[in-house]
Every structure is written in C-alpha cells, then in structure tokens.
Structure 1
Amino acid sequence: TVFPTATVVHRLDMATSGLMLMALNKPAHRHISKQFELRETSKIYQAIVYGLVEGETGDVNLPLICDWPNRPKQMVDYERGKKALTHWRVIERYSQSTRVELKPVTGRSHQLRVHMLSLNHPIIGDRLYAHKDALKMAPRLNLHAAALSFRHPLTEQALEFKTPIPF
C-alpha cells in the first residue's frame, strides 16, 4: 500500500464514477469531515437522464429515507425522511436524453438518483431506479462526481479538483 494511513472522507454510490477524497491522517480527516458536515464543501456531478428535461434550472427539495423492504433503495418520505436538496442545471439536450449538472446541498444516500427519478427523469443506466427504456440506454450508471471543492486542512487554502466525464 502506498498510503497506509489514508481514510475515506466521503462516499460515492458504488456505481458512481468520479472524484473521491481521502485524508492522510486523523486530524486532516476530522477537519475535512467537518467541512462536509457544515456544508462548506462544493460537489458538482454530471448525469445523463432519460427524456428531455423542461426548463433550464431547478431545485428538488424532497426528504429521503431508506426503503427498508427494498434496500438499498431510498424513497421520498415527507413524514420520516431527512432533508435532501439538489440544484440542477441543463447542460445539453439530446434526442431522448438530457445532460445535467447536479449540485447536492445535502449528501443523502442515492439522493441524486432519487431526485432525478422524482422529476420523471431517471439517470440512464441506473440498475436500481431506472425503468427498462432508461436502463437499456447505457451499460452503466451515467452519474459522475466531476468536481469537488474544499479547504486544505492545514493551510485553509481553497482547493478545487476536476476530472473528465467518461460518458
């Protein structure tokens, strides 16, 4: 192992590609974790969703909770769900799909996937939430963690990392 002390600071859904942040020591892990907890970080995703999204920008503000009989699926639940907020913006429209930029304010499990589904635009290739037509449009989930911003744990310098979109 190259970095035996490295620990994962945040997580991505297993099928999601893109940036993942790791800390090299416990003080750095605590500092960066606190930034995530206080929503001082910025995460930007790109996805290709089924269908043509109406409008150019919007928000999805729907509370989420685990759908226990169907786990690991999540679902919208107004009474017991935890607050979940996603900002979205259309990047490009294709013949049967739309490329969107997604900015989650909160970080719930499957948040982006369930929020896009709630707009009747499941992410293509999503084996958990997409219907048959959206599933067959891509061999993998078209959700990618494209950019991540946070403050360096020692210097407090603003850092931003980006990675190319593979779809």
Structure 2
Amino acid sequence: MEQHQWTVAEENRLERLDKLLTSFNEDWSRTQVQQWIVDEHVKINGEKAKRNYKVETNDLITLVIPEPQELEIEAENIPLDIVYEDQDVVVVNKPRGMVVHPAPGHYSGTLVNALMHHCKDLSGINGVIRPGIVHRIDKDTSGLIMVAKNDRAHESLVEQLKAKTTRRMYKAIVHGVISHEYGTIDAPIGRDKKDRQSMTVTEENSRDAVTHFTVLETFKNYTYVQCELETGRTHQIRVHMKYIGYPLAGDPKYGPKRKTLDINGQALHAAILGFVHPRTGEEMLFEAPLPADIEHLLTLLRSN
C-alpha cells in the first residue's frame, strides 16, 4: 500500500475534501478519490472522513492507496498494425478509437487486450492492467506507440522518456490560420479546477510542459501543423494549441463545439517515433502515414 499525508494550508480552508485531493495528483480522478473516501482509505486527523467535508487549516489528511485489484485481462484476437517487433520492443500504429489499456468502462477491445494475444511476453512493471505500456496516446488519437516486451526494455524506454531523448512528433489540423512558421509553447499543465476530467494551463499543482510546433500548410480557416513533444503531459498538444488560440479540429473536449471538422475525435496523429534500442543501443526511428480520415480532411481543405 502507498501512504500520503498533507497538512491543510490556510489558502485551502473550507475547500471540499474530494476536490482538494484530486488537485494533489493529476492522475487521480474525482470519482476515484470519492471511492477511496467511501472505503475509508482517507482520514482527517485520524478520523473517518466524508467526501463533502470542508477542510480546516492544519487538518491532517492521510490517504492510504490500496493495492490495485488484480483483474483478469483477456487476450483478444484483434488485428494490429505492427510497424516493428523484436525480442525487446513492439512499435504499433494504433487506430483512432482504440483505448490503450483497460480501465473502468473499457475492459476489452483495448490495445493491451490485442497485445496479450499477439505477444506472450510483455513487461510486468505496470502490472496486470498495463503490461508493456510505456506511454499512452489518447483513444481518439491515432499513431505510433512503443511497447516493452520485458522489464529491462521497459526501464530503458521510461528513462529515455524522462531524459527527453525520445522523439515524438505529431501531425494535426487546428482551427485558425497561424501566421508564423514555427513556435514553442512552454506552459505548465495541471487539472482544470472547473472540470476534473480536463487539463489546462495553470500554475497550481501543475507540471512543466513544452511543445514545439511547425506550420506545414495553411488554409482558409485551418492550419496543418507538426508538433514535437519535449514533455509528455496528459492531453498536452490539445491543451497547448487551445491555450495559444488554435484548438484542434474535431476535439470534443478542448475544441469549439460548433463549426469544426467531424472525424469522430481530434485531428491528431502520432506520426514519428524515435528512441534508442534498449539492448543494441541503435537509434530507431519510425514513421506512420496519416490515416485516411485526416488525409480526406486535408483534401477537402485544399479543394476549398
């Protein structure tokens, strides 16, 4: 079990307990925190807490995170676009609409379910829910993702991500016409206090985030861009492009609700992935062509 303790600061006085706890870690959802409170994994000054409790200055909050439930994740014979594979790593071109790993509401049909059928040996570092998964891309983002087949490879790839030595380049269609050729967005990202399921640029409880972008093509009301991640925060490109006034086309969470391009999600594709092979030390670089739906949008925009 994992234990955390915090002393409530004056500035957080009278804030709801569940809301305050979700602000401490961007990976904790409001629903998850509320369940921890109901299950008595959260104490206030050593006593049972209520999720709507309004904290007082100097309250001692104790959270004991229970061990994750070991679920039986079934291998499923789902076709995969394998770009590269050897004894250590697999590089997959994930289609739009596929969830990367099982989660509430998505225990089947995920990339992990498919990988478990395709590979009999995946790293166990992330446990039964996320075997082999080193990094994620959103459900409605297509493109390249690297997967570790053993713990040694997993540790190497994670270290490369932390050291910012991997290459992760995305192609996207955004609203608006960007007038300059390239730019860098250096703005910290954290959970949105008004919507705990969304991320936003904020100084509070945030982590550094840097995105570099290059304009590839401009149209009447849209721009085709390439974005390179220096960091890998949740929804980073989607949040950063919205922050500078050019939200992704089709994005149901961060884009405009009307007058957008409809492709069942954001027009975002993980096109280029590069890393050093964990066993050989060789520099590996892979590229996945744009999916047909984004190619179709570009054709329409060019014709107009």
**What TM-score bracket applies, with the shorter chain setting the length?**
over 0.9
Alignment correspondent of 2:120: 4
**How many residue pairs align between the two structures?**
166
Deviation (angstroms), 1:153: 0.6
The answer to whether the aligner puts 1:115 opposite 2:240 as a matched pair is yes
- Aligned-pair CA distance for 1:68: 4.4
Tell me what 1:17 maps to: 142
Deviates more, 1:102-111 or 1:1-10: 1-10
Q: What SS does the corresponding residue of 1:130 show, helix, strand or coil?
A: coil
Q: Does 1:161 align with 2:286?
A: yes
Q: Which residue of structure 1 lines up, in the alignment, with residue 197 of structure 2? A: 72
Cα drift, residue 4 of structure 1: 2.7
Partner of 1:146: 271
Find the partner of 2:171 among 41, 46, 61. Answer: 46
List gaps (5 residues or longer) in structure 1: none
The 2-side partners of 1:96 and 1:69 are apart by 29
Q: Deviations over 1:86-143 (max 9, x none)?
A: 0000000112100000011010001100100011110000010111235x31223101
Aligned to 2:113: none
TM-score under structure 2 normalisation? 0.53
Identity of aligned residues (%): 36
> Structure 1 counterpart of 2:192, which letter?
D
CA distance in structure 1 between the partners assigned to 2:232 and 2:142 by the alignment: 16
Q: Cα RMSD between the aligned structures?
A: 1.2
1:5 maps to amino acid:
D
Q: Secondary structure at the match of 1:5?
A: coil
Moved over 2 A (4+): none
The alignment's TM-score, normalised by the length of structure 1, stands at 0.95
The one-letter code matched in structure 1 to 2:173 is I
Displacement of 1:71 in angstroms is 2.7
Name the residue aligned to 2:158.
Answer: 33
